[in-house]
Amino acid sequence: MRRIRLIAEYDGTNYVGWQIQPNGESVQGVIERELCSLTHEDIRIHGSGRTDSGVHSMAQVLHFDTESRIPADKFPYALNVSLPHDIRIKYGDEPPAGFHSRFDVRKKHYRYTLYCAPHASAFCAKTALHVHQKLDFEKMCKAASFILGEHDFAAFKSEGTELSSTVRTMYESQWTRDGKFMYYDICGSGFMYNMVRILVGTMLEIGKGYLDEDAMENALKTCSRNAAGATAPCHGLMMTRVEYDGFDTQDYV
């Protein structure tokens, strides 16, 4: 039995999310089906984490165990022949013994993209949030800076989510601009369900002037979901990079 590690890129628009669910086609489900058909085995894959419906990834790490003799670096070629065009396998290898794509994650990176213009774009409607209102970039940058470091992110947890701890550490949290695009890049030890989207939603409301400049600081201090903003739409979010000890997706995609 060998363990195989793959990196998958996917446009999440047409899927119910990463994880297999009864209500529609999932990215995990599609990849598993192709792997089973390729190896004639009953294969279960394990991703580095879930992504919600409509959320994208350019660096989802997954692993599975197989008796197949297909070389690890040939899996991408074999799978890409039959996978739909919005799911691509970019890399394959045999990880060190005991590697686990979810338990061994050290850092995860996400990017949220805004398209700021009076009219939407014909090209990035599914990968960027169109914002036609004026945004106060400086205020959004200041709010982003409060996120850095170790905090209790309870205010940025979806209601109903049960977790032993809501404390996480953020290593990067910043907005940048390039023409009509604004990007929010965040890197952390881990993220709760919807956490990045609630952080972005809060900063969007600060940028539009709907929330006070100190709303981010307050939400982190009070741990109250009501102090934070609405959850930003799914389609602007992308998982961009996953880091492990000795393995960084950035080196392969």
**In the complex, least distance from residue 122 CB atom to a second copy, rounded to whole angstroms:** 4
Residue 187 and residue 197: Cα distance in Å, rounded? 14
Rounded to 10 deg, the angle between the 137-147 and 215-222 helix axes is: 20
DSSP alpha helix (H) spans, 17-88: 27-39, 75-82
Which secondary-structure segment (H or E) carries 55?
Answer: none
Question: Could you give the residue ranges of the DSSP H alpha helices within 95-235?
Answer: 137-147, 195-208, 215-222
CB of 87 to a second copy, least distance (A): 6
Of 42, 52, 104, 212, the active-site residue reads 52
Q: Which is nearer to a second copy, 8 or 135 (CB)?
A: 8
Give me the least distance between CB of 180 and a second copy, in Å please.
9
Closest contact distance (angstroms) between CB of 66 and a second copy is 20
Establish whether 86 is a catalytic residue: no
Distance of CA 203 to the CA centre of its chain: 18
Q: Which amino acid is present at 33?
A: R
**What angle in degrees, to the nearest 10, is found between the helix axes of 195-208 and 215-222?**
140
What is the contact surface with a second copy in residues (CB under 8 A)? 9-11, 56, 58, 76-77, 80, 85-90, 117-123, 125, 127
- Cβ distance to a second copy smaller for residue 86 or 136: 86
For residues 58 and 196, which CB has a smaller minimum distance to a second copy in the complex? 58
Q: With respect to a second copy, which residue has the nearer C-beta, 12 or 49?
A: 12
The torsion angles phi and psi of 93, rounded to 5 degrees, stand at -155, 175
Q: How far apart are CA 225 and CA 243, in angstroms?
A: 29
Instruction: Tell me which residues are annotated as active site.
Output: 52
